Amino acid sequence: MFYQVTDWDDAYANAPHIPGGDAFPDRWRQRSADFRATHASQDLGKGHLFLPDAKPQGLAVFIHGGFWMSFDPGLWSYLAAGPLAAGWAVAMPAYRLAPAARIAAITREVAAAIEDAASRVAGPIALTGHSAGGHLAARMICDDGTLSDPVAARVSACVPISALSDLRPLMRTAMNRTLSIDADEAQRESPALLTPRPDIPVTMWVGGMERPEFLRQSRLLADIWAGLGAATDSVVDPGRHHFDVIEALTRPDSPLTRTLLSR
């Protein structure tokens, strides 16, 4: 059977295809406010750095999504619970949103926040992010100097969740009136069109009930980077959709958290 997208806006629309999808942001906001009420954090620019009670085992980084156009780290604080309980510090970088910043600038801002967090926390660095944040997590380990060599050498794992790895299809959506992706930026900022740094294991993670384009984008990066010599895996989490696939990060013993913190 042929696969062909005829409605690009619908192909990347998540909330309309998830029962009660519009209610999730309020739920995330409340859970994160409750989490921050009992877990102090350091400022990381406009983002957050949560520290465990004992010396950190390493630094886990979660980069938020929202198609580079919406949300902020404060919406996702509760997702720090799993790595924090496992003894890791958790950085949640902030970045300017489109149209105030283009994706290339967002990439640089996230890299700078990770460099800042890495200067405060020793040990391995585990990178993850969701949706557009998954794109940014993968983008951090591209072999183009996005992260400095000393920081990149500490990256023990990269787990992009529901990641957007090829930006070219998004040029066909109405979102691009805000994102302003052109062919040049798509080439420079799509992980699937770039080369990964060597020796960093990459696990693509996506919900089994996600939109077909997110499943395709996830497979795409795993397959292309495997062909460039990277150690890749691709996990389809059964029964999970775009808005609940991240929930496993709240548990230190979940397969997702264990994969992220493996070294």
Residue-range domains of the chain with CATH: 8-261 (3.40.50.1820)
pLDDT tens digit at each of 263 positions of the chain = 999 999 999 999 999 999 999 999 999 999 999 999 999 999 999 999 999 999 999 999 999 999 999 999 999 999 999 999 999 999 999 999 999 999 999 999 999 999 999 999 999 999 999 999 999 999 999 999 999 999 999 999 999 999 999 999 999 999 999 999 999 999 999 999 999 999 999 999 999 999 999 999 999 999 999 999 999 999 999 999 999 999 999 999 999 999 999 98
What pLDDT does 92 receive? Answer: 98
Whether this model's pTM surpasses 0.95? yes
pLDDT of residue 219: 98
CA distances from 185 to 133, 168, 174, 179, 195 (A): 17, 9, 17, 11, 16
Tell me how far apart the alpha carbons of residues 170 and 102 are, in angstroms, rounded to a whole number.
Answer: 14
Q: How far is CA 33 from CA 26, 137, 235, in A?
A: 11, 24, 30
The reported pLDDT for the residue numbered 263 is 80
For 56-93, b/e burial (b = at least 16 CB within 10 A) is: bbbbbbbbbbbbbeebebbbbbbbbbbbbebebbbbbb
Query: Any idea which residue has 């795409």 for tokens?
Result: 220
DSSP 97: P
